[in-house]
Amino acid sequence: MCGIIGCAARRDVADLILGGLRQLEYRGYDSAGLAVIRDGSLVVVRREGRIDNLAGQVKASGVDGHTGIGHTRWATHGAPSEKNAHPHSDGSGNLAVIHNGIIENHEVLRERLKAKGHVFHSETDSEVFPHLVQEHQKTHDLLDAVRLAIQEVRGTYAFVVIDRTQPGRIVGARRDSPLVVGLGKGENYLASDVSALLALTRDVVYLANGDVVELTPDRVRVLDENGADKPLQISRVEWDAEAAAKGGYRHYMLKEIDEQPAVVAKTLQRHLDESSGKARFVLPDAAALEPWLANVDRISITACGTSWHAGLVGKFLIEKRAGIPVDVDYASEFRYRDAVLSKNHLVLAISQSGETLDTLAAIREARARGAKVLSIVNVQGSSLVRDSDGVVLTDAGPEIGVASTKAFTTQLVALQVLSWVLARARGRLDREREAKAVEDLRVLRFKLEECLSRGEEVAKAAELFARAQDFLFLGRGVNYPVALEGALKLKEISYIHAEGYPAGEMKHGPIALIDANMPVVVVATPGRVHEKVLSNMQEVKARGGRIVAVAAADDAAVRKIADFVLPVPVVDEDLSPIVNVVPLQRLAYWVADLRGCDIDKPRNLAKSVTVE
């Protein structure tokens, strides 16, 4: 949440900052701002709303300079207005500061600073920080002033600071909000995530909690929380700029839906060892943890949103294949519920961004209480990767659309692999079965391509139902989480109220909602509960409901009951969520498009939720 970029260069950087902000806009789009230093003066431009508003003003006024910072905001404290937009300044007007996170003790700090004569202009928590730095600058250099100021702040932050009197110098600091350094030639950058840097460099330094960084065009210096210099650990980012571009698509979401065959195959390939002829499942980024997995006697999965839905599928797979009891918690609940953690307890976190604060807080709590943490993560170098005992990386590539799509299907592949690895560790998987499991997963890519080639039915269903005010999504067994995910996709991008329910639960309450106005989307693909699902569909029909079914193309029984069928290729039931979710992602997309919604940037939302 909130996108941050900074650059110290020997050329004008306004365009570069605006370009970076566009890549970061998914992190928040309530307001945007930029500050540059030119000829000893600090110029700040801020606008309510999207980056385009800011870019228009920057272009019109010709603002530019060699040192600059930019921010795109997801509002927490204070309305999304120009006055509350970042960068914020201190009383002297020398400093410009951008911030991602929440300063929890901002009120106390504000009162103290007011008593010293500081005047504030916004309702934000962030504005106290430049004033704090200014106070410390009375006796210290900018770098030390920032170091002292962060010691007074309670909460989460990535701060980036420039000072009019020190052109060519940028100071940053982070705690629990991401900040990464990009290394260029004769220029250096800071950003809240690598996607903002891909057009500039792929050489980065991920900052750790408590780090403070100083950038000039030629030098990067990182200090740890005790003020000691740290050697730069340079990582090469695997992603390239093209992966983060829209590539001719109208929306990132549509591009990301279409990328699923390729990224599902890539994620699988990362976790196969083919050195001995027959492919075996491996966890290359959790090698140290793998021997211990044989001891695991309980698993707690913790995640948020779409990743939590993936976790529910994981529960089915792990319990069935490895015979290990699994519970699945929202990360925001897990942390505060005194979960019982035993000696051989594995906490499994799932996150696309690796920066979701609720998930990070949950695993930190679990580790503090002695549990081992394995994480399924998409973003390398993210906080979750650093804070886990082992990781299972997904290869979704940059996911820019706020509504998660390809991250979900790659998480499901990672869970497939993990469930088999756990089964093998417990002696429940022989070589033959493993080879068959690998083959089934390999075929998925083609099943997804087939599924994506059947777009017309989804578009027609969207047209039929786009004006509905409520939707009910039903699924059973391993496809119950798919119903939840279908409902989440629809509500977040089309603003239609939608609920996901286990189909068998419908008769215990939601059946009262059914009428001809509320479409009921049922995941009804073949499997051990297929007949039960058919009965649930009959219950809907008997009450005048209209059914859209995700089903095998040749399923006559479903066709007889459903008003509309979204056909999917048939795969093994345990793999079916990976295929079945695709028409639901597309249904949400087309309904939102018909309703004229801003698909990649739905209202009130932002990607990578770094506040609690």
Catalytic positions are: 2, 607
Q: For residues 7 and 304, which CB has a smaller minimum distance to ligand F6R in the complex? A: 304
The rounded distance, in Å, linking the Cα atoms of 586 and 485 is: 12
Q: Which of 304, 313, 339, 534 binds ligand F6R (CB under 6 A)?
A: 304
By CB under 6 A, residue 195 contacts ligand F6R: no
Residue 516 DSSP code: T
Residue least distant from ligand F6R (Cβ): 305
Q: Which of 126, 156, 166, 359 binds ligand F6R (CB under 6 A)?
A: 359
Beta strands in 397-528 (DSSP E): 470-475, 497-502, 519-523
Least Å distance, CB 259 to ligand F6R, is 16
Q: Which of 356, 375, 409, 419 binds ligand F6R (CB under 6 A)?
A: 356
Q: For residues 494 and 608, which CB has a smaller minimum distance to ligand F6R in the complex? A: 608
Torsion, CA 366, CA 368, CA 373, CA 379, rounded to 10: 100
**Which one, of 493, 444, 500, lies nearest residue 308 by Cα?**
500
Q: Tell me the per-residue interface mask from 388 to 407 with ligand F6R, x by CB under 6 A, - otherwise.
A: ---------------xx---
Residue 87: is the preceding peptide bond cis (ω within 30°)?
Answer: yes
DSSP states of 219-267 as a string? -EEEE-TTS-EE----EE-S--GGGGS-TT-S-HHHHHHHTHHHHHHHH
Q: Which of 156, 166, 306, 410 binds ligand F6R (CB under 6 A)?
A: 306
Tokens of 19: 């370009």
Least Å distance, CB 74 to ligand F6R, is 12
Q: For residues 213 and 331, which CB has a smaller minimum distance to ligand F6R in the complex? A: 331
Q: Report how many residues bind ligand F6R under the rule CB under 6 A.
A: 15
CA atoms within a 13 Å half-sphere pointing along the CA-CB vector of 393? 18
DSSP states of 326-358 as a string? EEEEEHHHHTTTT----TTEEEEEEESSS--HH
By CB under 6 A, residue 353 contacts ligand F6R: yes
Report residue 579 CA to chain centroid gap.
Answer: 21
Judged by CB under 6 A, the chain residues 366 through 385 that form the site for ligand F6R are: none
CA atoms within a 13 Å half-sphere pointing along the CA-CB vector of 506? 30
By CB under 6 A, residue 580 contacts ligand F6R: no
Least Å distance, CB 317 to ligand F6R, is 18
Q: Tell me the per-residue interface mask from 480 to 499 with ligand F6R, x by CB under 6 A, - otherwise.
A: --------x---x-------
Q: For residues 419 and 608, which CB has a smaller minimum distance to ligand F6R in the complex? A: 608
Cβ-Cβ contacts under 8 Å for 563 (sequence gap 6 or more): 546, 547, 548
Q: Which residue has the tokens 């992190």?
A: 27
Least Å distance, CB 577 to ligand F6R, is 15
By CB under 6 A, residue 305 contacts ligand F6R: yes
Binding residues for ligand F6R, per CB under 6 A? 304-307, 351-353, 356, 359, 403-404, 488, 492, 608-609
